[in-house]
Structure 1
């Protein structure tokens, strides 16, 4: 059974599903005709392959999009450190952080378009053209020298095209898996930390070379993305599950579990990215070797890879909401610990541990949102609406932390304390979402 495609296993998916009109017709029927209802064939609930070559190729294709989208955006810390020393040395850390924050916000907000389009028309109508757009944006970034140019190319264009690609790819994974969805989505998301390791290593090694430097280092990153997105374009296979009706499904916010989780994740993302932006500059301020400090970003992403792999496994046995909740608390506690860490060894350990807990959060964020949808054909829209709201947290969080840190770097305590407290508040709110999802069920 695991080798069957969704098209073979579900009769309900053979045609577009008008979910909204179906619900409206049911609510408007005051006196249902029992005989007529019995005479009509019942729609079979959607079945999921839960594996097989086609399903795992989709996961691999999504892995490639995760590598090139979240992976590249998670690499911004190495760019920020370089910009502050070269092209943008007359700008404050907060100013430069806006490039990465706009990039993250554009990625999250772009899903508001790509998710519903994927649910209604399939993923490839979005993935193919936007893959080309992402490569063009990365190549244009190699030509940037001024602040506004980095904002437009690396901030807006890269972020927007990355978001347009990733949400459709991830939602298709949800069409192939239900019971194993958390594991499949976690594995797909491991492309992000791998990309977050590879891109910084490429740039760190090529930036000092006078005959290569920033322009060709950035272009090499673009060619790598082109290769991976070409694989994704041919391995992500859509299913017949589609929906008609409204473009957005705003009634989702009437569900307590969905609305509470969105608020919680907004708070979590508000504080989660601070180490990904500032841990290297913090290390430099406390006497860390410049080369070693630049590899802290790679260590963060290495820890994130481990966290994402373990997240899927633990979620299968302990419940994804439970694992997500503990990861949020763990991330907040580690940020509080950061306040007292000044040694190079301590920062290395912190990078790995925080990478693991934050990676677990990112890995299960989409999966827990997907599980609040009552039909697979709604997953893309549910994810897109949630990430649009969450994106505002990513937009504001790191610039506020950067403003608290200040140009002279004397405000790290304030910036870290702010991020840790906001993240802890998000963890507490997520506890409410976990209760709304499963109440007294221990494994949720």
Structure 2
């Protein structure tokens, strides 16, 4: 096709905005209406998809339910499991028991790059559904464990694989449908973690007291199948991607469909159906912003699980009841739920980089200062609430930072690659804390544990500061180029 395809100019709106990225020019009239693809010899006009809509919010809902369960048995309620596993396996050390949850969390993140590639290659829905099935099977198998290493294989490795396959499509999908409200959409999606923790922490504690820990695992397996399996049906990627500056790239299939709609011949274009080659995805390592985010994940993840795993046991250590410890953990998860939504919403109006930066420093303060001085229920509750709120905001805003810095194309694999660094941190964080706790026996001291968590989160905040500077510099360079 040598001539441009033409349509009558839109009359519904008077205001027209044009966004240009490379050879792609996007023209919108108020609500997005047309997109023009230019090349040295070819040009086409295709409709530009509207942001949001009912389908988009269903994607957010599905992501919410997957988030509500995908991390619960290995992170947000594992502190409750850990307390009871110490009674079931009295000869096991604190670090060896903590390694069960750490293994699950680490595998979730370490397998993220491959899970992201699978999702980008075969589709988000089928990948998330397979992940839900694997998580369900892993919890059923864990309920028959008679030795600690059985839990490493089931609640640890197998659950982590399933969680990874379900999580990365769920975290990437909302950004495919939103740009202006990306912070809110992502915040609502990942707030499922806080909501799940708020509900599952007291539920797990109550079930263990009533039916024992193994039947609790089976009940949680049934919940996983219903919640995550059903929610995976809503996790569908979009055929359209937003680049970092807001322009749009369409897949060949979408262009050909619209080409036929306007009565033209098939359009040959360089924009082929997107697959994610392994080495192509690795090119993101050349960007210093990606390295800064990855180092932030590596450092912060060392300390992130420590409060979640030891908040309840520390509460008992300072002579609070186990019920009070479970309440603090549950309310911390509730604060995480609120932080993910509110801070995500604020980031849409202020600046994602500024809010993310504040969250990283506030989380470090909550652990390094507040936890250090907590000796009573009110101070411990304050620490749990502040940690949950700002850590929740941090978790929800990192995927937004990825989308803003690198676009939504191949987003699942990009996030997976970055979170793999976080997996390395998680693999060592909680077991290291358990080891430090063991070496203080018989005069148990949590000081080394708190310092480890706080200092590593402080290093993570410094890396986020570096990313914010580099991202601001890149944005200015992009504006000057245009």
In the alignment, what sits opposite 1:434?
A: 468
How does the TM-score come out when normalised to structure 2?
Answer: 0.80
CA gap of 1:331–1:47, structure 2 versus 1, over 3 A, is: farther
User: What CA distance in whole angstroms lies between the structure 1 residues aligned with 2:462 and 2:39?
Assistant: 46
In the alignment, what sits opposite 1:88?
A: 89
Tell me the secondary structure at the aligned position of residue 371 of structure 1: helix
Preserved CA contact (<8 Å) 1:109 1:389: yes
Per-residue deviation, 1:329: 0.5
In the alignment, what sits opposite 2:457?
A: 423
In the alignment, what sits opposite 1:216?
A: 215
Preserved CA contact (<8 Å) 1:119 1:377: no
RMSD: 2.1
User: What CA distance in whole angstroms lies between the structure 1 residues aligned with 2:50 and 2:155?
Assistant: 39
Per-residue deviation, 1:132: 1.1
CA gap of 1:324–1:150, structure 2 versus 1, over 3 A, is: same
Q: Does 1:355 align with 2:388?
A: yes
In the alignment, what sits opposite 2:294?
A: 262
Preserved CA contact (<8 Å) 1:285 1:409: no
Cα deviation digits, residues 87-122 of structure 1 (max 9, x gap) = 122111111111111110011122211211222231
In the alignment, what sits opposite 1:277?
A: 309
In the alignment, what sits opposite 2:186?
A: 185
Preserved CA contact (<8 Å) 1:49 1:55: no
Per-residue deviation, 1:47: 4.7
Per-residue deviation, 1:245: 5.3
User: What CA distance in whole angstroms lies between the structure 1 residues aligned with 2:312 and 2:429?
Assistant: 18
Preserved CA contact (<8 Å) 1:277 1:398: yes
Cα deviation digits, residues 353-374 of structure 1 (max 9, x gap) = 1110111111112221232224
Cα deviation digits, residues 309-342 of structure 1 (max 9, x gap) = 1111111112112111111111111112211111
User: What CA distance in whole angstroms lies between the structure 2 residues aligned with 1:123 and 1:156?
Assistant: 22
User: What CA distance in whole angstroms lies between the structure 1 residues aligned with 2:314 and 2:276?
Assistant: 50
Q: Does 1:396 align with 2:428?
A: yes
CA gap of 1:37–1:57, structure 2 versus 1, over 3 A, is: closer
Preserved CA contact (<8 Å) 2:136 2:225: yes
Tell me the secondary structure at the aligned position of residue 273 of structure 1: helix
User: What CA distance in whole angstroms lies between the structure 2 residues aligned with 1:253 and 1:54?
Assistant: 33
Per-residue deviation, 1:39: 2.6
How does the TM-score come out when normalised to structure 1?
Answer: 0.86
Superposed counterparts of 1:39-438, under 5 Å:
39-41=41-43, 47=48, 49-73=50-74, 74-84=76-86, 86-209=87-210, 212-241=211-240, 243-244=274-275, 246-248=277-279, 249-337=281-369, 338-374=371-407, 376-406=408-438, 408=442, 410-438=444-472
CA gap of 1:333–1:160, structure 2 versus 1, over 3 A, is: same
CA gap of 1:83–1:379, structure 2 versus 1, over 3 A, is: same
CA gap of 1:50–1:349, structure 2 versus 1, over 3 A, is: same
Gaps of 5+ in 1: 1-21, 23-35
Q: Which has the larger radius of gyration?
A: 2
In the alignment, what sits opposite 1:18?
A: none
Tell me the secondary structure at the aligned position of residue 92 of structure 2: coil
CA gap of 1:286–1:239, structure 2 versus 1, over 3 A, is: same
Preserved CA contact (<8 Å) 2:182 2:348: no
CA gap of 1:299–1:124, structure 2 versus 1, over 3 A, is: same
CA gap of 1:104–1:322, structure 2 versus 1, over 3 A, is: same
User: What CA distance in whole angstroms lies between the structure 2 residues aligned with 1:431 and 1:137?
Assistant: 39
Per-residue deviation, 1:49: 3.1
Number of residue equivalences: 403
Preserved CA contact (<8 Å) 1:274 1:419: yes
CA gap of 1:43–1:402, structure 2 versus 1, over 3 A, is: farther
Tell me the secondary structure at the aligned position of residue 236 of structure 2: coil
User: What CA distance in whole angstroms lies between the structure 2 residues aligned with 1:109 and 1:286?
Assistant: 35
Per-residue deviation, 1:301: 0.3
In the alignment, what sits opposite 1:14?
A: none
CA gap of 1:270–1:234, structure 2 versus 1, over 3 A, is: same
